[in-house]
Structure 1
Amino acid sequence: MKKLMMIAVASMFIFAGCEEKKAEAAVEQAKPVEQPAQPEAKKAPAPSEVAVRAGVQSVDWDKAIEMNANGAIYVDVRNAPELNEGFAPHALNIPLNELKERIGELPKDKDLLIYCRSGRRSEAATKYLMDQGYTRVYNVIGGFLAFPKK
């Protein structure tokens, strides 16, 4: 039993340490190929613009900003003190630990762009929302750390 616990703890540390590099690599892989503008403004992202990991759809910040301009909603799942680092314009803040109680604040008929600090909590939030029947949810790759600075 002790060996099993040690393996579980070691696995968590390894996963946490590798997550930042995975997020950076995923950002590079998920960048969309430059394509001509689509006449349909509210079109869902093309499959080439969405990365899928563990069943969770992810987009990079360039695509998220484009989707937000077309009506998608940013959902920031960081805790209140983390908002001092900044946040996406007009983002709805629902910390991950409050998501279950506040899920009713999120519409099912709009695209939801979920982000946190680095991408791990937002991936978990995206998976949870999908499990609750939300189909238009996207994890923003790299979290707020990857947010384009002006």
Structure 2
Amino acid sequence: MSITIDTMPIICLLWIVVGVVFIIISVIRLANHQESDNHYVTLNKEQGQQTNDLEELFSYFLEEEEKKNQGFRDLLVNILRKQTDLEADHLQQSTKEHQKRQMTNEKLYDEIVKHYENGESIEMIAKNLKKGVGEVKLILSLYNMR
């Protein structure tokens, strides 16, 4: 089969037919592809809804954890307050005990000096007040230094 001028219009016509068939096939495929895109859009909408559901669920869990953490923070604050109150009470008690001891020591000092001025011996003062001889001597030496 050789191509001659007489067969040339047939070949062109054949090429035109092939082109038209190719265009028709392309249009059909494009139409099917657009339908597939609609399917993808539908899937994306469903995935978007699932994403929103997951975000809501995650937000719920975050809120619950925040409530637990707030309860833990409140517990810690209460413990710290109690500890501070206990330390303040202990400080007050220590101050009261210190003042009591100081008053007791002042009374002891006054008693020893009174007995000493009345002429009692150091041994007798220690025996009467149930204190050691060295303690009585120390208090009397402080009294004499005044």
**Shorter-chain TM-score tier:** under 0.3
Q: Normalising by the residue count of structure 1, what TM-score does the alignment of the two structures yield?
A: 0.26
Largest Rg, 1 or 2: 2
Q: Higher strand fraction: Structure 1 or Structure 2? A: 1
